[in-house]
Amino acid sequence: MTYEQSLDLAELQADMAFETYLSAFEEGDHPEVIDSLATEALIAQDRCADLRTQDLAH
């Protein structure tokens, strides 16, 4: 997988995780579920940011 493909995948995963979080929040899911989804979204965003940082380092 190329760097660009990895970055695209990370961005897609971050977007999907955030959308899942928003959906759960809007539907009034249990607070623990919302917290878990928020954590997953943050991890996905961090992964994406790390990939961008790696590219800047080269």
| CA 54 – CA 32 distance, rounded (Å) | 33
Give per-residue pLDDT as tens, 14-28.
Answer: 999 999 999 999 999
Cα distance between the two ends of the chain = 17
Give per-residue pLDDT as tens, 7-56.
Answer: 999 999 999 999 999 999 999 999 999 999 999 999 999 999 999 888 66
Please check whether residue 22 is in contact with residue 39, taking contact to mean a CB–CB distance below 8 angstroms. Answer: no
| Nearest in space to 10 (alpha carbons), one of 23, 18, 34 | 18
Name the E strands within the chain: none
pLDDT at residue 58 tops 60: no
pLDDT at 12: 95
| CA 44 – CA 58 distance, rounded (Å) | 22
